Structure 1
Amino acid sequence: MSRTHARTPLRTAALAGTAVLTAALTACSGGGGGPSAGGAGGNGKAEPETRITVNLTGERARPGSPIEVTLAEGELTRVTVTDSKGTTLDGKVSADGRTWTSVRNAAPGTGYTVEARDANGGTAKADFATAAPQKVNKLSLAPGKNSTVGTAQPLSIVFDHPVKDKAAVERALKVTTSNGTEGSWGWMQDWSGKDRVDWRPREYWKPGTKVTLDARLNGVDSGPDGGWFVRDYTTGFTVGRNQVVKVDLDGHRLKLLRDGRLVREVPVSAGTPGGEKASWRGRTVLMSKEGTINMRSETVGLGDAYDKMVDYSMRLTWSGMYAHAAPWNARYMGNANRSSGCIGMTDDDARWVYGQVQVGDPFEIEGADAKGTQALNNGYGEWNLSWSEWQAKSALR
């Protein structure tokens, strides 16, 4: 049952519980004390009763839809809806003044207080609560909050549980940029097997662009087996230097360009062509700078071919392709591809490249000595799609 409150003196409001929550708003008369709802005014006549309905009632109302407050006659002058955390919901009154609708959906497991006033001065107050979620969906965001990244870094969201209603989720994701950058969301299955959505600009970011994500997900149902979102998320980052790493697999060279100008060129030895040890080609993105790590061949399906501590490791794919120091392969650098899939450099060259690159920098890898183009979800492979192909992956297209 909803909880009701009466207000006195002068202006009183009575609420009556019906199939939908119903409140009567009564204005004071020109006579003495304020009458009750439907009571007699100073002239002895019963005052007209103005009634209001709220679409959600009780202690276990279903979340996920806007809160609507509707007046039977007259006009609403003010509606205030406050949740149990003290947050006031924004809303809009219809053109005829009779209905107020919240901008956001009612969130699960939340109590709400509704207060309304009509043009005649009548007031009403009502409380209701939404049912707690049986399952909660959460997410992880990349890049990190307040980070500075390269010009190819997408916004990337991976969800804990399946997202069946992708359109509803995508509508709740708002990207704002400091310079009106054009971009689009695209859905895929992450390398981990979870649902993922990325926001990619049409072209590489302009240096200095500030990007903000406001994920207004509280109260959004991700669909069967996914559960409800019970909070909002925000993150933001800044785009750093304009630089691109170009790798020529056939020429065995790596070039770092900044603002379109060559900074340095170094010899490399990439993956052995003709099998699973070959490197991927395509436009990829530097995912992380991991320093010295242990690389073991069995983790990438290559048996017991190697088990090494590797310096200056720069991750390019989830499947295990890195750029890194490979002094054991020095005799091949600049003339042959003889690694197990990674782009190897001398210690000195790898140290220099590692110090220059930013997470989010594009690595543009070309050449016939490859096993194919990097897959969309194997790291950040979206730059290998045309703009129209990428837009088609939005749930709102």
Structure 2
Amino acid sequence: MSTFQAPKGVSEYVPPRSAAFLAARDAFAAAAAGAGYSYLELPVFEDTQLFARGVGESTDVVTKEMYTFLDKGDRSITLRPEITAGALRAVLEHNLHRGALPVKVWAVGPVFRYEQPQSGRYRQFYQVDLEALGAEDPAIDAEMIALAWDYYQGLGLRQVVLKLNTLGDAECRPAYRAALQAFLRGLDLDAETRARVEINPLRVLDDKRPEVKAQLGGAPLITDHLCAACKAHYDKVRELLADLSIPWTDDPRLVRGLDYYTRTLFEFDHPLLGAQSGIGGGGRYDGLSETIGGPALPGIGFGLGLDRIVLAMEAEHVPAVAGASVKVYGVALGDTAAREIFRLVTALRRAGVPADQGFGGRSMKAGMKGADRSGAEWALILGERDLAAGTVQLKELATGAQTEIQLSDVIEVLKGKYA
């Protein structure tokens, strides 16, 4: 065992479990690209003020959970606690919003929050992220939700639950905020929570402590305070989801942990994951661009947690089918044969056939064990006598059937099986 271990609270993936992580990540990449979303590769650290202003200075994320430090130029830098603010910053900085709208982008990578580690909650974790900027159309809200829903279904997850809510907008939320504050001021809350009531009362609705949750049963609902435009927007989103036969539960108390959300809000839960059941979510953030110094630019996005998706796949016993895996495994008997197998394996890879080989001059028995462990469908077996005859043995590992083919035909024969 090494002297060093991974830092506490870091999620990392090694074979064979890493296959599920790759399957989840790559399936999302295919779904995003197939819906017209372009890829963003973003830095994992940004100016601290981007998150303080964008995520919200009263949130637990900003006040308690960020990894913030001074760099060598005495600049305050923060490891990203979420991806949306950085994605929006990149869109604005590179003037993508000056072209055709909406700007549709996606990203993937590690995210960092200083939390108490437990199953499904880490200090470094992984998200896939989808953003659409420049459109207020409720159809783009429904598209976002449908893409996430279909992605989960495509992975083989059948117990995902979709929860929906709306948070209103700048026109109708002030009246709701006042009603909520009046209710919360009458509760038995600690000093920190009472201060939060005055800064951002919606954050109190997101409090997970039992002693706080028990007092929130009679809290006013945003759905009772919506203006006509917000109600129409929310109704349209649900109408479009119904057209797609996507089931959901209206949850008028749903509040996510970031300050920038407006109107449509959604969350995906998985009941087999216990306390950390949220496997993704997002919503509309129509004022975020102005908050970080940009122009008015409506937007909507979501982040899905790859770590919890892997846990959900394991809970539902979903097989992990990652991308291209080894199809052919080369087994060489003797030094001269090993040189030829090396050439053949490289030629197969160049021809688009995934291939691997044994190394280190191993025996026939060890070489075939390596072939079985690789998951390959075929073994190429080459000994000195085969080499002298200009042939190679092609063995189907599932059946044990073995045929002799000409060395000169190997590439075309195997390419034909995977055309």
Q: TM-score range by the shorter chain?
A: under 0.3
Normalising by structure 1, what TM-score?
Answer: 0.24
Normalising by structure 2, what TM-score?
Answer: 0.23
**Of Structure 1 and Structure 2, which has the larger fraction of its residues in helix?**
2
- Answer with 1 or 2: which has the greater Rg: 1
**Of Structure 1 and Structure 2, which has the larger fraction of its residues in strand?**
1
